[in-house]
Amino acid sequence: MKHLSDSELLLQASGEGSLEGALHVAACARCRARQGVLERRLQEVAVAVRSAGPSAPAAPAWRGAVWAAGAVATVLLVLIASRPAAPSEAPDPRFTPGAVNASVTRESVCSANAESAVGIPPARAMVVFHRYSIARPEPRKYEVDYLVPPELGGTADPDNLWPQPYTKGVWNARVKDALEDRLRAMVCNREMDLSVAQRELSRDWIDAYKRYFHTDRPLTDHAGFTKDRPWE
Amino acid sequence: MSQRQQRLHRVVRALSPRDRACLALKSEGFTYREIGEIVGVSLGSVASSIAKTLEKIERMEARQR
């Protein structure tokens, strides 16, 4: 039996390998074990790369590696410049299905030390724009927003991020921010389970807004609601 | 920073600019296909670059044992 190479196993682990390879991995304990080792190592290296951010003390060559991601992300703008922009009020579930941290609980969400949204690194924002085929995203026009916000257990995985326009239509980033605050308050007041709040946001946030604010249109007060920072 | 982390950093520092870019982008959550589009190589080349980096780390750790 011919086993898969390391690079083929890595592709399989990210769901980008061939069907033939997937069938082999499913039937081959040795390949599965090797794949597990590779994934663990990749995870460790990724943590090391992320932890050595631009502000961390590091040798110039290492900082260059991290900056390379930003530079390459800029190149990405050029590569996708010819694609049509497709901003939308609602995230596309194919690109943004939502991702939550399973260890987050109501107690941690509602504690004084609860997670709050942090800025999305430029390279990761580029992943999101790329997925949505948005060429040349204009500064301050979008919020690279969490579908499920960290305040409700959402992660910064690209699967949980989408480019939400501030200005396109009435169902914009400011309005969603108001819904997020409302749902978090309900979770912390024990009026709603955390998992329900996460589901409401990841399934159809506009429908959820209409139900929780009892309106078919965004409330006037929410048009100027500001919680998260725009992408720039 | 632990000794192991320092060793990891040394391996990464010694990579070619393209291999470092592939690794940095992978750590940011890009898929192999997306990295390939950015860097201008095939998806297989990106996976191969990262597999070689992991192999270097394995060799380095084997030497430390």
- Give me the sign of the Cα torsion angle A216, A221, A226, A227: negative
> pLDDT: is A229 or A159 the higher one?
A159
Instruction: Please identify which residue in the block is written with the tokens 């009435």.
Output: A170
Task: Indicate if the pLDDT at residue A72 is higher than 60.
Answer: no
**How much is the average pLDDT of A214-225?**
78
Say whether pLDDT at A176 is over 90: no
Answer whether residue A14 shows pLDDT above 80. yes
A93 close to A142: Cβ distance less than 8 angstroms:
no
- A29-38 residue pLDDT tens: 999 999 999 9
Burial code of A162-194, b = ≥16 C-beta within 10 A, e = fewer?
Answer: bbbbeeeeebbbbbbbbbbebbbebbbeeebeb
Q: Look at residue A147 in the predicted model and tell me its pLDDT.
A: 93
- Inter-chain CB proximity B47 and A7 less than 8 Å: yes
The whole-number pLDDT of residue A34 equals 95
Q: Give the ipTM.
A: 0.93
Chain A residues within 8 Å of chain B (Cβ atoms): 5-11, 14, 16, 38, 41-42, 44-52, 58-59, 61-62, 64-66, 68-69, 72-73, 75-76, 79, 121, 123-124, 127, 130, 157-158
Which residues of chain B fall short of a pLDDT of 70?
1
**pLDDT tens readout for residues A83-100:** 333 446 788 888 899 999
Whether pLDDT at A44 is above 90: no
Position A38 scores a pLDDT of 94
Q: Which residues of B touch A79 (CB under 8 A)?
A: 37-38
Residues above pLDDT 70, as percent of chain A: 74
**Nearest CB to B24: which of A6, A69, A130?**
A69
Alpha helices (runs of H) in B1-65, residue ranges in sequence order: 3-13, 17-27, 32-39, 43-64
Average pLDDT of the segment spanning A111-138: 76
Residue A52 clears pLDDT 60, i.e. is over it = no
Q: What is the pLDDT of residue A55?
A: 31
Residue of A nearest to B23 (CA): A46
pTM of the model: 0.53
Distance CA A197, CA A124 (A): 25
**Token couple for A128:** 């999101």
At A142, which helix (H) or strand (E)? strand A142-146
